Amino acid sequence: MLLVLCSVVIVAGFFLLASRRLKIVPGRVQFAAELAYEFPRNTIAREQIGTGEFRRFVPLILALFSFVLVNNLFGLIPVLQFPTMARIGFPLALAVLVVYPVYHYAGVRKYGVGGYLKRTLFPAGAPKPVYLLLTPIELALKFALDPALLAIRVFAAMFAGHLILMVFTVSGEFLLLHAGAVAKPVSLVSFAFAILMTFVEALIQVIQAYVFALLSANYIGAALAGEH
């Protein structure tokens, strides 16, 4: 919980500081904030939701991307060294309490309850007998599995990466301090893999933040689309 609170302070503080005195020729902090804003805006929100309706969802996508990214990167910071999203409750709360109601609300607001359910559960163009199989699948996906899978993706990646780093680090420490003289040199191999996996984990942490925001925008775009 402390890490989550810290991430909120970090994200909010960064954007407030960067936007306090905006200039036509940006300084380093403003330039970094503009890059952090333009990436989820143009690469994620506009591409997945569409140019006509993406603007009102940009704050949400930006917040999701920034929040998940900072909490993932906590896993690389000495002393902390734990990605918050490796606790299933946090990504599940984001998926179920934030993303899930937003994309359903967006669809219902645009098409009405009946129109949204018709577009969601009875995709246009399918033969009528196919709906006997397709409609239950769409119902399970849109109202149960999609938010669960959204949470599990980032949780599984962060949890697995954290365990891998821990295994190599603890193994290297054990071999160095408690194994026999013959096995001690092997600890260097374990530590080397721990360092290598740290860089791999950093890449995965960024990718998972991107994937979480991307899929969130994709769900919103699908809810607003005329046909599925």
Contact residues for 179 (Cβ-Cβ < 8 A; gap 6+): 186, 187
Contact residues for 145 (Cβ-Cβ < 8 A; gap 6+): none
3-state per-residue secondary structure call for 28-54 = HHHHHHHHHHHHHHHHHHHHHHCCCCC
Neighbours of 65 (CB within 10 A): 28
Q: What is the pLDDT of residue 85?
A: 94
Measured in degrees and rounded to the nearest 5, phi and psi for residue 119 equal -65, -35
- Quote the tokens at residue 108: 């219902």
Q: What is the pLDDT of residue 211?
A: 96
Note down pLDDT in tens along the chain; length 228 residues: 999 999 999 999 999 998 888 888 878 888 889 999 999 999 999 999 998 899 999 999 999 999 999 999 998 888 888 899 999 999 999 999 999 999 999 999 999 999 999 988 888 888 888 889 999 999 999 898 999 999 999 999 999 988 998 899 898 888 888 877 777 888 888 889 989 999 999 999 999 999 999 999 999 999 998 654
Q: What is the pLDDT of residue 7?
A: 95
Domain ranges of the chain: 2-224
61, with CB counted inside 10 A (0-12, 13-18, 19+), is buried
Distance from the Cα of residue 206 to its chain's centroid: 9
CA distance 152 to 207: 15
Task: Check: pTM over 0.85? Answer yes or no.
Answer: yes
Spatial contact of 118 and 58, defined as CB atoms under 8 Å apart: no
Helix, strand, coil percentages in the chain from 3-state DSSP, rounded to 5? 80, 0, 20
Question: Which DSSP letter does residue 84 get?
Answer: G
Q: What is the pLDDT of residue 157?
A: 93
> Mapping DSSP to helix (H, G, I), strand (E, B) and coil, where does residue 184 land?
coil
Q: What is the pLDDT of residue 227?
A: 57
CA distance 5 to 52: 34
Q: What is the pLDDT of residue 228?
A: 45
Question: Which DSSP letter does residue 196 get?
Answer: H
What is the residue type of 150? L
Closest CA to 62 of 43, 78, 81, 80: 43
Q: What is the pLDDT of residue 183?
A: 78
